Structure 1
Amino acid sequence: MKYQLIPVTPFQQNCSLIWCDQTMKAAVVDPGGNIERILEEAAKNKVVVEKVLLTHGHIDHVGAAKSLAEQLNVPIIGPHKADEYWLDSLPKQSQHFGFVHCDAFAPTQYLEDGDDVTVGNQVLKVLHCPGHTPGHVVFFAQSAKLAWVGDVLFRGSIGRTDFPLSNHQDLIDSITQKLWSLGSDVQFIPGHGPLSTFGDERVQNPFVADQLFS
């Protein structure tokens, strides 16, 4: 599996173009905005986008999802249904954060913990990881030891839990009980900022390092 990071929106959100190098079929993870940049990367890499994948319902991750899906005539997959509140509130989110107006929408398919999503011949395992939002999901490519974690975990930090329906303990549990079990050698792509590995965060992250729980 290959990927290209595409920072989008004033929040510099890590949108990802991911694709199967055997079939050249692709998915776009968290298209928060800047559709022209996303389409340019798809053309540059000579891939065919077949679906849009969403980790959660915050506008910097989903702001361009509906427009992109309609333009390409592809489905929107994810997040978990518990984030319906956030997708319904997109008009308010766009106003509050100073984004271009974004209509509410429902994805083609909500995801459940344990679901599989295919990108060409590649398989992504879905993990429901609530805390930052109640319906946040993580996509894990086991064969590539890569995880797209949205705003659950960052290098040296964790997702905010001061939003409506956020829950700090749920977030800690999602990280320590679900993400760590995937393996310390797994590299993760966060919703913002630089990449890291679960192993590094278990040693260095001041919020979820192993030594805090021993």
Structure 2
Amino acid sequence: MPTTSHSGKMPLEATVIPVTPLRQNCSLLYCVETMKGAIVDPGGDIPLILDSITKKQVTVEKILITHGHFDHCGGAAALSQILGCPIIGPHPDDQFWIDQIPENAQQYGFEGESFTPDQWLKDKDEITLGEERLLVRHCPGHTPGHVVFYNAASHLAIVGDVLFRNSIGRSDFAGGDHQALIQSITEKLWPMGRETVFIPGHGRPSTFGAERDHNPFVADSVLGLMP
């Protein structure tokens, strides 16, 4: 399956690798200066992920997880063993979702492994990728332990299933909270700037500005916010 890139000569670049039957956006993030990087949300299809790493010639040093749903991290344990790198994230409130990965993945006809991350994350943690840094924001609502990764220098965010182009994440799963999700979007994502490009967990990228203008769930006009 072809991959897509967010680039434009930014210091941090991302290649999106759709994986699993649910077409989850796994991302290869890397520092352009050092070509050191991370895989974010390896839900499955490990050969596709490894092929992208080889083609981009990135040295992957970390596996980052936005949240514990199987389509986002069902392949993390296997990939960690292959690459010999740690699993970082999500927030510990999602451990109960990670524990359910094998059963939940089986319901969709594919395999996934549970794991315990080498490092849990909390709000305002920072992760180093080569010469670049990712700010971690804890964004509950879709799941209680969901986190988002943001690189200010490249105006780029990896938001998992918090926000989508013209939609938002579901909040009807165990531990979900609609009001918390809206607050995560408006209080944690919007301050990253209208120009920030975000890669969602499924579907096409967008910008926070476009969603503030047009998203039927969280547009400023819908929520009564000042633009």
* TM superposition score normalised by structure 2: 0.92
- How far did 1:103 drift? 2.9
Q: 2:134 is matched with which residue?
A: 124
Distance 1:191 1:103 in 2: 19
Contact 2:75/2:113 (8 A) holds in 1: no
* Aligned AA (1:112): K
**Which secondary structure does the structure 2 equivalent of 1:99 belong to?**
coil
Aligned residues: 213
User: Identity of aligned pairs, percent?
Assistant: 55
Q: 1:210 aligns with which of 211, 216, 220?
A: 220
1:95-148 superposed Cα distances (whole Å, 9 cap, x missing partner): 233222x23210000000000011111100000000000000000000000000
Q: 2:49 aligns with which of 18, 34, 38?
A: 38
1:39-84 superposed Cα distances (whole Å, 9 cap, x missing partner): 1111111111101000000011001100000111100000000001
Contact 2:159/2:199 (8 A) holds in 1: yes
Distance 1:166 1:33 in 2: 24
Instruction: Say whether residues 1:161 and 2:171 are aligned partners.
Output: yes
**Which secondary structure does the structure 2 equivalent of 1:177 belong to?**
helix
5+ unaligned residues in a row in structure 1: which ranges? none
Instruction: Say whether residues 1:106 and 2:116 are aligned partners.
Output: yes
1:160-181 superposed Cα distances (whole Å, 9 cap, x missing partner): 1110110101000000111011
* Aligned AA (1:48): T
**Which secondary structure does the structure 2 equivalent of 1:57 belong to?**
coil
Q: 2:199 is matched with which residue?
A: 189
- How far did 1:23 drift? 1.1
Distance 1:178 1:46 in 2: 33
Distance 1:120 1:82 in 2: 28
Contact 2:142/2:170 (8 A) holds in 1: yes
Q: 1:198 is matched with which residue?
A: 208
Q: 1:179 aligns with which of 172, 184, 189?
A: 189
**Cα RMSD after superposing both structures:** 0.8
Instruction: Say whether residues 1:80 and 2:80 are aligned partners.
Output: no
* TM superposition score normalised by structure 1: 0.98
